[in-house]
Amino acid sequence: MAQADVIAIEEHFATPELQALNEEAGAKGPLIDRLNDLGDLRIRDMDEAGIDLQVLSETAPAAQALDPEVAVRMARRSNDYLRAAIDAHPDRFAGFATLPTPDPTAAADELERAVIKLDFKGAMIMGLTSGYYFLDDKKFWPIFERAAALDVPLYFHPGNANKAVYDVYFKDYPVLQRAALGFTLETMTHGVRIIMSGVLDRYPTLKIILGHLGEAIPFLLWRIDNGIARQMKLPRSFTDYYRQHFYITTSGALSNSALACSIEEMGIDRIIFAADWPYQPNVPARKFIDAAPISENDRQLIFSGNVRKLLRL
């Protein structure tokens, strides 16, 4: 694959067949047009922002809200669909696999197929499985085992909160359910539970990516560490797990102070560029890193150096 100067890794598409099975099937307009496009429109938007490569992933909820048998079939079709798009534009696109997490064993097998046969760079997991299950449940550990064996990362992407949580937290203010607050709470909880579960002790080479500058966890590391240590003892500190196993991206989080906190807590080698296209536009995401008060070496590490190493691009 050609080396790229700017690589964005939380960039979405929609498989029409899979989209029709999910709740957003009736959505129309420019957003859906962009999700459906894997050619000229997308590349033109990338070129406007100076983005050389997108690592693409099926938009939420992907295959994770379907019955297991349907999820397995549709995840495979999604991954084959994406591979065809990459073949058409091999210098502009790479892929994260869609996984049929309702069938964890099949999900592990599909991850292996996607990495070995389709040359995908890992997988993106879209929140809760079946609207209920976090990935720390041991039934999902075959996915982690396979990711560690393949030496590829898993990207934890936000999804909607469980309905019971929605009814208590967001029903009165539904605007908060998604990007304003709910996505952060759901994905932050996912990341914290993974550390608490022991899966990182079982699979010590496992690598996990979180978007949106780590879903606020870098800001909260000391407090989480202190709160856990007062009531239980982990084999390592929470902060140690987070810094050694997690990478974070700049998707949808264009704040210099938040970026500075993330670099201070994680180190520059853990920060990766992403735009969250088409839910967030490419140009502001690019301009944000271009103008960030960091060194040129750090800027290039964020834009491409770190992700080339992580994904072996």
Nearest Cα to Cα of residue 9 among 184, 134, 155: 155
User: How many other CB atoms sit within 10 Å of the CB of residue 265?
Assistant: 19
Helices (H) and strands (E) counted in the chain, each on its own, are: 16, 8
Catalytic residue among 151, 276, 290, 298: 276
Is residue 114 a contact partner of residue 123, using CB atoms and an 8 Å limit? Answer: yes
Q: How far apart, in whole angstroms, are the C-alpha atoms of residue 270 and residue 117?
A: 28
DSSP one-letter string for 69-113: HHHHHHHHHHHHHHHHHHHHSTTTEEE-B---TTSHHHHHHHHHH
Is residue 259 a contact partner of residue 270, using CB atoms and an 8 Å limit? Answer: no
Q: How far apart, in whole angstroms, are the C-alpha atoms of residue 45 and residue 52?
A: 11
Determine whether 276 is an active site residue. yes
Backbone angles phi, psi at 94, to 5 degrees: -135, 180
**CA angle at residue 290 from 36 to 123, to 5 degrees?**
40
Instruction: State which amino acid sits at residue 171.
Output: K
Burial of 223 (0-12, 13-18, 19+ CB in 10 A): exposed
Locate 25 and state its tokens.
């099937």
Q: List active site positions.
A: 276
